[in-house]
Structure 1
Amino acid sequence: MDIRLLIDKGRASPIGALVLLLALAAGLLFFRLGVPGLMDPDEGRYAEIAREMWVRGDWITPYLNQVKYLEKPPLVYWLTSLSLAALGKTETAARLVPALCALGGTLAVYGLGRVMFDPKAAVMAATVLLTSIGYVIMGRLLTLDMPLTCFLTWGIGLAYLALSRDRRAYLPWAYLSLALALLTKGLVALVLPGLIFGAWALARRDGQMLLRLWHLRGLLILLLVGLPWFVLVSLDNPEFLKYFFFQEHLERYLTSYSHHGEPVYYFVGILALGLLPWSFLLPWGLGQSLRPKILIDRQDTLFLWLWAGVVLLFFSLSRAKLAPYILPALPPLALLLGKALNGAEQGSDPALNSCGITWSLLTWLILGLGMILIFLDPPAYWGQRIARLDFLSPYPLIGLIVLAATPALTLACRGWPRARWAMLLIGAVALNSTVILGMERVAGQRSGRALAQVINANWQPGEALIGYRVYLQSLEFYTGQDFFLYNIKGELKFGSQHTPGVDLFLEQPEALQKLVQHRPRVYLLVQDKDWPEVQNLFPQQFQVLSVWRKGLLVANQ
């Protein structure tokens, strides 16, 4: 689509803008959504929880491998269960919720941009978000982070507009959005907005502002939507409150309990990667955002800075760090960058825009060319790391070429602002296309779908599926069979201790040998390092059915 079709005397047509965003979403979020197999551990875990929820008919207590799984609230499980029930047990059905939430978050940014800035800046902000590789990747994976980001964006954005534009009718909707975020990932859905608005009130030296967030109907909505599940699950599972709030929230944040420790600067690099290709323009865009000309612009800019900054600081201080945690910082950064790009296209400050964006594009080009050279002729330090990407060939090289070509072609369009913006957008779409194709290769390495096809083709009643010190959640989803686990519990440890009557966990070799003897056939998933041990326990009993990236799928005669 020609971006100029959106432009009409300096304004963006709402219909044209929505058509553009929906077209981009169709290509980047929904096209080939079901092609890759569900990847372990996250996608396999959440899909299997949703499948077991539907099969058991228990919508209060989530289960994974027949034991309680109380780490997260159930909203994504509920929605995914309904999607699987409606569309079948397919990858598209499993990933539909995050894809729709990615689109919902994009529309929230577009709406905020129209109110905060102008329609063209809104289009640019929404397209920046929708074509950032971190956003696209997370929109195509079944995890909780994209739904959380969507609901937080709507909740924080509507609450801000209610205060800054005196539109208190938005507050009930803001509270509803935060209630949905609470049901997605827990207390972080309330802590982050509280810190953001607290920081804004402190920066403005206006403590009364927080009182204006009070809205009785909105609070009732939050309690009626967000609270009942917590009450019901606590009544059914007395161990829930301590485990969920203390171990899964406080201990995960304050201690190394979850074993995901990273340095304090970890999310700065992750944020730069997640915003690609736009992160090359982010320093310039943030600098532009510090030059607002009217009071309301200064208020909006300050809030967006605080929004992104609080998210970055909050997760940087956590002892547990995983890359997707930083996703809620992308919407405010996209709004700031969209505003800057709109100003550059309109030439509101020609001298500054020309110099600033030109130097940013030149830096982008130089770094892109440097990455191509390193990829083609890597120094010793990078050689082994790049070699690990061989299975993705040729997509890494194509992506780097696109990354370097985008600023070069954009610089060639100097003097044609609309063509320059269109070139940036085309480059971002092309880069994301290579990422999507690369994800399909990654899924081939990290999904249990191919193994499940082997098992399903041979499965007979009474047989057993066993993981020998390994657990692939997606294998359980695709086969629909209980997974006996030998000498491993991992994330199932708490559930195995609080779910009576489940005999799927084998601790001693004798228990494993007894199971093998009493079943007509067993399928054993084993890592390469453990295969000699299996051969010693069961001499000449197992034959190899298939190979996976870490080991073998074997079965007895």
Structure 2
Amino acid sequence: MGLLAGAWLLWWQGIPFLFDWDELIYGSLARQMLESGDPLSLVINGEPFFEKPPLFFWLQALAMGALGVNEWAARLPNAWVGGVTVALVVAWGSHLRGVGFGCLWGLLLLTGYVPLFFAKTGLIDPLFNLGMGLGLGSLLGADQARLVGQSGRAWLVVGALALGLAVLAKGPLGLSLPLLIWAGYKVWHPDPWPRWGEVVAFLALAGGVALSWFALEWRQQGPEWVEQFLRYQWRILTTSDGHPGPFYFHLLAFGLGCFPWAALSLTGILRTLLGKDPGAGGGSRFRRPRFRLGSAAQVMDPCQRAEHLLLVAFGIVLLLFSLVVQTKLIHYTSLLYPMGAYFAALRLQSIWAGHCSSPTLAGSHQRDEVLSRLTLWESVWIGLSGLFWLSLWLVLPWLGGSQGEGLANLGIDLTDELAWGYLKAGVDWPLYTYGPALLLLGGGLAWSIGRHKVWGWVSLLLATGLSAQLAWGWVFPRLLQHTQGGSIHFFRQFVGGEEGSAGLLSGTVGLYGFRSFVPYFYGPLQVPYAAFPAELSAWERTGQMPDYLVTWDPFVEELAELGSLQAIEQRGPFWLLKTSPSFSVSP
């Protein structure tokens, strides 16, 4: 399953451009690391980068060393991480509830829209979540080992290493969040209480792995990097950092993004809490036998304990990022995806079991029939969220293919010149780009007929998985051509042309007006950036004025008033301008 998952994630993984900002920032850091040959420094555009530790960039640099500096290499680590993640959830699910359940859990992760898109990106979070999830699972494994009279120390070592690497992937949250979740779980299940010596050894090992990089940075560059890093972490926690949102943002993102199984997940969580689900309550045909410790009367159920840990983790992650962390970005709660997929698999298995079992085998057939039927709210939410995605896959090709004329035909007056620039980027949208919509429509119709049957859900999951892959390979590349294609085309001409051939333009290039990380991956390693005319004036006075400028529609008139410029080319809202020797800026 892990190998199949890795191959599934690799399919068309490198086709779309890296998106601005995050993917391009990380890919540019890895590129710079590879070019400099120094894995211990994080530099972008000649300036130190203080926001993230280096583990993920090391993996990207290794991939780029083997495959070259391209989108495939930048995203390759997450195909590997996704394969390992699916292998682990299939193994754990199989241990808890049987091989069928484990495979279903893994398949849901690979067919939900946002979880699949997320796993195909070049973001840090899949690796970060793998470290935290493995750490929590190992802590639970140590607990279960102690319950049957074993030491559990091997589990503790694995957990400490995993959490230490999670910190090296993204920061202190990689240790603090799992420990907060574990503390909440131990309030629910205080036995067996760990020995204090084991606690100290665990924290020392996890902290030693985590602090290794920070100690090297402190030694090489002094305390500045660590201070700036901690300031950034605090800013993300206490301010919106330019990404505000309502408190229900992450719940809504989960409910829409994890189509088609988000509604099943939330129902599975509620029914597990209340003990009403055939897959979670007493008398379940899916539960493993209970374990007793010696002659003690206390009953130990590893499946129930695992579900309690998942419930605590889901609740803490959702509450923390909804009510405490002010920055609202969709990938901040991506740890919810594997946990939500577990409860969705639990709910889906109970639906199938209620319609495939006989009274003789089930023993309580009428109860299973009632609990296995989709509720009204589940059906409505699945239908509405499906319509949302269907509309998206229809509207994007229509808007792009009509170059915005479709809006005018509908009487919609788009006054924003920048938006018009994006729409008129000259991107070809052939009819097959409606493929994701047609697949989803077919799967949705099949599900509407057989939503209580195995074949209905198999049709929908197959349709969502394939439509997501087609959207990744057909829709997203064209969408990024609209939003970034012109800028990428211009900067590529200074490092080797569109296809890596000889450079089409000689000279230096600068970026003016809009902030972008496109040049540092697709163009020269260092491209000066100016946000205001005063900075152009400083370039002029010091003799550092670039030969060319790449800018945006909103700033063209502003630049035209400042000096003599020659427009070389326009692509969408992006402009390539040549500066003349007489170019000057009034102070």
Cα contact 2:14–2:72 (8 A) shared by 1: yes
Cα contact 2:259–2:382 (8 A) shared by 1: no
Say yes or no: does 1:532 pair with 2:517.
no
Say yes or no: does 1:355 pair with 2:378.
no
User: Take 2:42 and 2:411, find their aligned partners in 1: how far apart are those partners?
Assistant: 45
Q: 1:299 maps to what in 2? A: 305
Report how far residue 250 of structure 1 moved: 2.0
User: Take 1:373 and 1:54, find their aligned partners in 2: how far apart are those partners?
Assistant: 42
Q: 2:337 maps to what in 1? A: 330
User: Take 1:474 and 1:55, find their aligned partners in 2: how far apart are those partners?
Assistant: 17
Q: Which runs of 5 or more structure 1 residues have no equivalent in the other structure?
A: 1-17, 489-505
Q: 2:296 maps to what in 1? A: none
2:536 to 509, 516, 533: 509
Q: Secondary structure at the match of 2:327?
A: coil
Q: 2:88 maps to what in 1? A: 108
Q: 1:9 maps to what in 2? A: none
- CA 1:169–1:24: 2 relative to 1, 3 Å: closer
1:241 to 200, 221, 226: 226
Say yes or no: does 1:89 pair with 2:73.
no
Pairing 1:10-159 to 2, within 5 Å after superposition: 18=1, 22-27=3-8, 29-159=9-139
Q: 2:346 maps to what in 1? A: 339
Report how far residue 428 of structure 1 moved: 2.4
Q: 1:486 maps to what in 2? A: 530
Q: 2:576 maps to what in 1? A: 553
- CA 1:37–1:116: 2 relative to 1, 3 Å: same
Q: 1:190 maps to what in 2? A: 175
- CA 1:381–1:178: 2 relative to 1, 3 Å: farther
Report how far residue 34 of structure 1 moved: 1.7
User: Take 1:370 and 1:95, find their aligned partners in 2: how far apart are those partners?
Assistant: 28
Deviations 1:318-354 (A, max 9, x none): 1122111010111111111112222332336531344
- CA 1:525–1:223: 2 relative to 1, 3 Å: same
Q: 1:13 maps to what in 2? A: none
Q: Secondary structure at the match of 1:555?
A: strand
User: Take 1:240 and 1:518, find their aligned partners in 2: how far apart are those partners?
Assistant: 28
Which deviates the most, 477-486 or 368-377? 368-377
Given residue 466 of structure 1, which amino acid in structure 2 is its aligned partner?
G
- CA 1:91–1:369: 2 relative to 1, 3 Å: closer
Q: 2:516 maps to what in 1? A: 472
Percent identical among aligned pairs is: 22
Cα contact 2:259–2:386 (8 A) shared by 1: no
1:446 to 463, 471, 484: 484
User: Take 2:314 and 2:20, find their aligned partners in 1: how far apart are those partners?
Assistant: 30
Report how far residue 148 of structure 1 moved: 0.8
User: Take 1:321 and 1:365, find their aligned partners in 2: how far apart are those partners?
Assistant: 26
User: Take 1:307 and 1:433, find their aligned partners in 2: how far apart are those partners?
Assistant: 29
User: Take 1:382 and 1:115, find their aligned partners in 2: how far apart are those partners?
Assistant: 56
Cα contact 1:281–1:361 (8 A) shared by 2: no
Deviations 1:1-53 (A, max 9, x none): xxxxxxxxxxxxxxxxx2xx5335423x1111221122211111111111112
- Count of residues paired in the alignment: 511
Q: Which has the larger radius of gyration?
A: 2
Pairing 1:394-413 to 2, within 5 Å after superposition: 399=436, 402-403=439-440, 405-413=442-450
- CA 1:239–1:366: 2 relative to 1, 3 Å: closer
User: Take 1:186 and 1:394, find their aligned partners in 2: how far apart are those partners?
Assistant: 45
Q: Secondary structure at the match of 2:522?
A: helix
Q: Secondary structure at the match of 1:450?
A: helix
- CA 1:542–1:126: 2 relative to 1, 3 Å: same
Deviations 1:146-191 (A, max 9, x none): 2111221212122222213544422211111111110011111011
Report how far residue 65 of structure 1 moved: 0.3
Q: Secondary structure at the match of 1:179?
A: helix
- CA 1:359–1:485: 2 relative to 1, 3 Å: closer
Report how far residue 95 of structure 1 moved: 0.9
Q: Which runs of 5 or more structure 2 residues have no equivalent in the other structure?
A: 147-151, 283-300, 355-361, 396-405, 581-587
User: Take 1:141 and 1:389, find their aligned partners in 2: how far apart are those partners?
Assistant: 24
Q: 2:295 maps to what in 1? A: none
- CA 1:299–1:44: 2 relative to 1, 3 Å: same
User: Take 1:192 and 1:389, find their aligned partners in 2: how far apart are those partners?
Assistant: 42
Higher relative contact order (CA 8 A, sep 6+): 1
User: Take 1:297 and 1:360, find their aligned partners in 2: how far apart are those partners?
Assistant: 25
Say yes or no: does 1:543 pair with 2:567.
yes
User: Take 2:379 and 2:444, find their aligned partners in 1: how far apart are those partners?
Assistant: 5
User: Take 1:272 and 1:131, find their aligned partners in 2: how far apart are those partners?
Assistant: 15
Given residue 551 of structure 1, which amino acid in structure 2 is its aligned partner?
F
Q: 2:548 maps to what in 1? A: 523
Deviations 1:95-151 (A, max 9, x none): 111222222222222222122222111111111112222222222222211211122
Report how far residue 528 of structure 1 moved: 1.1
Report how far residue 220 of structure 1 moved: 4.8
User: Take 2:433 and 2:423, find their aligned partners in 1: how far apart are those partners?
Assistant: 8
User: Take 1:276 and 1:66, find their aligned partners in 2: how far apart are those partners?
Assistant: 42
Cα contact 2:256–2:385 (8 A) shared by 1: no
Q: Secondary structure at the match of 1:281?
A: helix
1:228 to 209, 212, 219: 212
Deviations 1:458-514 (A, max 9, x none): 8589821201123432222222341111237xxxxxxxxxxxxxxxxx953333335
- CA 1:301–1:382: 2 relative to 1, 3 Å: farther
Cα contact 1:361–1:407 (8 A) shared by 2: no
TM-score normalised over the length of structure 1: 0.82
Given residue 458 of structure 2, which amino acid in structure 1 is its aligned partner?
A
Cα contact 1:277–1:403 (8 A) shared by 2: no
Pairing 1:374-389 to 2, within 5 Å after superposition: none
User: Take 2:438 and 2:194, find their aligned partners in 1: how far apart are those partners?
Assistant: 49
Q: Secondary structure at the match of 2:529?
A: strand
Cα contact 1:267–1:323 (8 A) shared by 2: yes
Q: Secondary structure at the match of 2:549?
A: strand
Cα contact 1:308–1:330 (8 A) shared by 2: no
Given residue 160 of structure 1, which amino acid in structure 2 is its aligned partner?
L
Given residue 261 of structure 2, which amino acid in structure 1 is its aligned partner?
W
TM-score normalised over the length of structure 2: 0.78
User: Take 2:78 and 2:390, find their aligned partners in 1: how far apart are those partners?
Assistant: 33
Cα contact 1:49–1:62 (8 A) shared by 2: yes
Cα contact 1:543–1:556 (8 A) shared by 2: no
Cα contact 2:5–2:83 (8 A) shared by 1: no
Which deviates the most, 110-119 or 385-394? 385-394
Cα contact 2:113–2:259 (8 A) shared by 1: yes
